[in-house]
Amino acid sequence: MPDNNCSEMEPEIAESVLELTPESLQQAIEMRQRLHRRKLKQTQEGIALANSLESDLGVPLHRLHEHFGPYPLFKLGSDSNTPLHKKLYQLHHHLKNLYQALCSRVINDLVGEPCYVQAIPCYRFGLPNNRWVGGFHHDSDFGHSGWELNAICAFTSAHNTAALQVEKEIGNSDFEPLQLKAGDVVMFDHIERLHGCVPNREDHSVASIDFRFVPERFADDAFKYAKNSINTKTPMLPGGYFSKEPIIVNS
């Protein structure tokens, strides 16, 4: 999914990356396909993060619509700048340690190798009759690196129209909802598979984070042509958009 810190990459640069590093990029693609839809169910780390956010916000996350909005139907490029989004990002510094624990769990139990992680995750919410991502897309449309991995942690249940819709087969537009329970963490292919949201026709709000990883072994190639994020102008490099150091797999 695109995020409020996503960057643009010039097409000629992207092509030069492919020419210079086809082996590492192919390895990243294969890794992303292997991990697609791998899930950790109702993780303690995800539930603790959701509970802490809910406590700080002072609002049940599944009832966000009773306290915030309504907002105009989200569109790509304007789906992460509401007052509620700003509030969620303001609260992140209280949640940093819980977020790091979640990242470590994903790296240890799913990825299996050291990774740089997105320093601040993307906070998402979908109120009834709205969507939580502004349109269908590939994250590569927004300049995101082909060396990235992506995970979603659900803070509420997300089913049917409230869930992210993801292609079953690459290029087929055969979408299916990525069904999640609160605390679930799932890897998904945000680069090759078209994905997006339809309006939430369920009777509750949904909330989640998504967060990116760059395996350490791909770092030289992944960060070679890094740009700045669009909204915050944060360099998409270690110590900027990504963690200063990779998170190491526990022995």
What domains does the chain contain, in order, with CATH numbers?
Answer: 11-222 (2.60.120.620)
Instruction: Report d(CA 21, CA 8) in Å as an integer.
Output: 20
Exposed (0-12), middle (13-18) or buried (19+): which is 176, by Cβ within 10 Å? exposed
Instruction: Render pLDDT for 181-204 as a digit per residue (tens, 0 to 9).
Output: 999 999 999 999 999 999 999 999
Q: pLDDT tier at 230 (50, 70, 90 boundaries)?
A: low
Instruction: Match 């790296």 to its residue by tokens.
Output: 107
Look at residue 205 in the predicted model and tell me its pLDDT.
98
Look at residue 145 in the predicted model and tell me its pLDDT.
87
Q: pLDDT tier at 119 (50, 70, 90 boundaries)?
A: very high
Q: Which of the pair, 140 or 155, is modelled with greater confidence?
A: 155
Q: pLDDT tier at 234 (50, 70, 90 boundaries)?
A: confident
**Does 7 have pLDDT greater than 60?**
no
53: CB partners within 8 A, 6+ apart: 61, 88, 91, 95, 155, 207
